[in-house]
């Protein structure tokens, strides 16, 4: 059974850098894209970006200048960094596995609330 | 970006009755390979979203057969044949044809 577990700082001040890591347990790490999606409080879902095991990335253009997604295949982990955060970045951040061929997003982490407040 | 528009945004349903959610995209999601790059998710209260339907009409593993997805091009529908109490939550459609992948606003299903 595949499990995604995520961790990182939950409270940030404006202008700081958000940093989250997602560990993948079970299943194959290669052969998938590893995705970050966020959900502002009471709002819908926003796709942030994704990475595969070889480090190839795709980003949402609206966030691209502030976002870096990286991968550590030795640990079966991938990470999200978002610079210069503001209150608008307050959200629950989900890490998700995306299957390459069908593009289905089949396994989701539990979500991590990141609050940006002065 | 491809804009996804769901309707209705709120859906009160009596248990045992059917329910239907519409999702429209601003561009066709039908790829030249014949697949519609449209998924459906359910986010139950306090939980992460879970995949219900992928590529327009394929039920994900473990999803009850009362959930059915249909449609092609720019118009898609999720139908629940007989709503149960456990189906409560917010339903999202998502296009995965073009980056950035985008979601509909969500449809909140509640039990009457």
* pLDDT digit string, tens, across residues A90-106: 999 999 999 998 999 99
Burial group, residue A58, by CB count within 10 angstroms (0-12, 13-18, 19+): middle
What mean pLDDT comes out for the span B27-43?
97
CA distance A114 to chain B (A): 15
CA angle in degrees (0–180, nearest 5) for B51-A88-A104: 15
Question: Would you call B101 an interface residue with chain A, using a CB distance cutoff of 8 Å?
Answer: yes
Which chain A residues contact residue B57 at CB under 8 A?
none
Q: What is the mean pLDDT of residues B19-26?
A: 98
Residue of B37, B49, B91, B107 to mutate for A, most A C-beta atoms under 10 A? B49
B49:A45 CB<8 A:
yes
Distance CA B100, CA B95 (A): 9
Contact B51, B62 (CB under 8 A): no
> Across the A/B interface, how many CB contacts are shorter than 8 Å?
52
pLDDT in tens, B39-91: 999 999 999 999 999 999 999 999 999 999 999 999 999 999 999 999 999 99
* Contact of B22 with B75, CB cutoff 8 Å: yes
Residue A27 confidence (pLDDT): 87
Whether A105 and B51 lie within 8 Å, measured CB to CB = yes
Is the Cβ–Cβ distance between A40 and A91 less than 8 Å? Answer: yes
Q: What is the pLDDT along chain A (118 residues), one digit of tens a residue?
A: 999 999 999 999 999 999 999 999 998 888 899 999 999 999 999 999 999 999 999 999 999 999 999 999 999 999 999 999 999 999 999 999 999 989 999 999 999 999 999 9
Cβ within 8 Å, pair B48-A110: yes
Q: Is B91 touching A (CB cutoff 8 A)?
A: no
């Amino acid at each position: 059974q595949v499990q995604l577990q995520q961790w990182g700082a939950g409270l940030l001040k404006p202008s700081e850098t958000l940093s989250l890591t997602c560990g993948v347990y079970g299943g194959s790490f290669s052969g998938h894209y590893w995705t970050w999606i966020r959900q502002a409080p009471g709002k819908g879902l926003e796709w942030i970006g994704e990475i595969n095991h070889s480090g190839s990335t795709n980003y949402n253009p609206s966030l691209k200048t502030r976002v870096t997604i990286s991968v550590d295949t030795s640990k079966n982990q991938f990470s999200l960094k978002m610079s210069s955060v503001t209150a608008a970045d307050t959200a629950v951040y989900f890490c998700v596995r995306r299957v390459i061929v069908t593009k289905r997003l089949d396994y989701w982490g539990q979500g991590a609330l990141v609050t940006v407040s002065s | 970006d491809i804009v996804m528009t769901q309707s209705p945004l709120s859906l009160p349903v009596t248990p045992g009755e059917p329910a239907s959610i519409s999702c429209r995209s601003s561009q066709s999601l039908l790829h030249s390979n014949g697949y519609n790059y449209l998924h459906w998710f359910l986010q139950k209260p306090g939980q992460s979203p879970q995949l219900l339907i992928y590529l327009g009409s394929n039920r994900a593993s473990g999803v009850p057969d009362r959930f059915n997805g249909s449609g092609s091009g720019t118009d898609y529908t999720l139908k629940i044949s007989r709503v149960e109490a456990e189906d409560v939550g917010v339903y999202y459609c998502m296009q995965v044809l073009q980056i950035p992948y985008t979601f509909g606003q969500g449809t909140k299903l509640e039990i009457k």
